Structure 1
Amino acid sequence: MLHAHPRIAVPPETRFLEAAYYRRRAYGDMRDVRNRQNLAEWIANDKGTKFHDLHIGREDYIRQAAQGPGSLGSVIGRAFSMYGERFGKPRWGDKRPSYVRKVDVLRRLFPDAQFIHLIRDGRDCSASLKEMPWYSLDSFHAIANWAEAMDAGAKLRRKLPADTYYELRYEDLTDDPATELKKLCQFLEEDFDPAMCEPHMLAGVAVPKNKTWHNNTHGEVTRERVGSWATRLTGWEIALCEDVLGERLREHGYELSGAPSAAKAHVAAFRQTMAKRRASRMRKDLRDRVNRLREPGPVAALLTSGQREPQRVA
Structure 2
Amino acid sequence: MRFTAIQMIGTQRSGSNLLRLMLNQLKELSAPHPPHILERFMPLLPVYGDLTIEQNFAQLVDDVCRLVEYNPVPWTGVDLNRDEIINRCNQPLLTEITRVIYELKAESENASAWMCKSMANIHYTDELESSGLKPLYLHLYRDGRDVACSFKKAIVGEKHIYYIAQQWKIEQDLSLQLVERIGRHRVIQIRYEDLIANAEGEMRRLCEFIGISYDESAMQYHQSNEAKNTALSGAMWQNVEKPVIATNFNKYKKELQPEEIRLFEAVAGDTLLNLGYSLDYPDQTIRKFTKDEIALFKARNKQMKDDSRANQKPEDIEKRKNQDAFLNQLKHRLSQIETAATV
TM over 0.5: same fold? yes
Q: Which among 152, 155, 164 is matched to residue 133 of structure 1? A: 155
Q: Residue 56 of structure 1 contacts residue 86 of structure 1 at CA under 8 Å; is this kept in 2? A: yes
Distance in 1 (alpha carbons) for counterparts of 2:72 and 2:153: 25
Runs of at least 5 residues in structure 2 that lack an aligned partner in the other structure? 1-21, 299-343
Matched, 1:213 2:233: no
Which residue of structure 2 lines up, in the alignment, with residue 103 of structure 1? 125
Taking the TM superposition and a 5 Å limit, the aligned residue runs for 1:1-314 are: 1-24=22-45, 26-27=47-48, 33-46=54-67, 50=71, 53-55=74-76, 60-71=80-91, 72=93, 73-109=95-131, 111-202=133-224, 203-204=226-227, 207=230, 209-258=232-281, 261=284, 267-268=289-290
In the TM superposition, residue 221 of structure 1 has moved relative to its aligned partner by 0.9
SS at 2:276's partner residue? coil
Which residue of structure 2 lines up, in the alignment, with residue 283 of structure 1? none
CA displacement 1:191-246 (0-9 Å, x = unmatched):
22222233213243662622221111111111232111112211210122233333
SS at 2:116's partner residue? coil
SS at 2:74's partner residue? helix
User: What amino acid sits opposite 1:64 in the alignment?
Assistant: E
In the TM superposition, residue 149 of structure 1 has moved relative to its aligned partner by 1.8
Change (3 A) 1:108 1:271: farther
SS at 1:50's partner residue? coil
Distance in 1 (alpha carbons) for counterparts of 2:43 and 2:141: 27
In the TM superposition, residue 142 of structure 1 has moved relative to its aligned partner by 0.6
Distance in 1 (alpha carbons) for counterparts of 2:240 and 2:289: 35
Distance in 2 (alpha carbons) for counterparts of 1:258 and 1:134: 29
Change (3 A) 1:268 1:260: farther
Change (3 A) 1:27 1:221: same
Runs of at least 5 residues in structure 1 that lack an aligned partner in the other structure? 277-314
Change (3 A) 1:150 1:143: same
User: What amino acid sits opposite 1:190 in the alignment?
Assistant: I
Change (3 A) 1:86 1:95: same
Change (3 A) 1:30 1:213: same
RMSD in angstroms over aligned alpha carbons? 3.2
SS at 2:65's partner residue? helix
User: What amino acid sits opposite 2:109 in the alignment?
Assistant: F
Identity of aligned residues (%): 19
SS at 2:156's partner residue? coil
Which residue of structure 1 lines up, in the alignment, with residue 19 of structure 2? none
| TM-score, scaled relative to structure 2 | 0.69
User: What amino acid sits opposite 1:129 in the alignment?
Assistant: F
Q: Residue 73 of structure 2 contacts residue 230 of structure 2 at CA under 8 Å; is this kept in 1? A: no
Change (3 A) 1:270 1:250: farther
Distance in 1 (alpha carbons) for counterparts of 2:43 and 2:282: 42
SS at 2:232's partner residue? coil
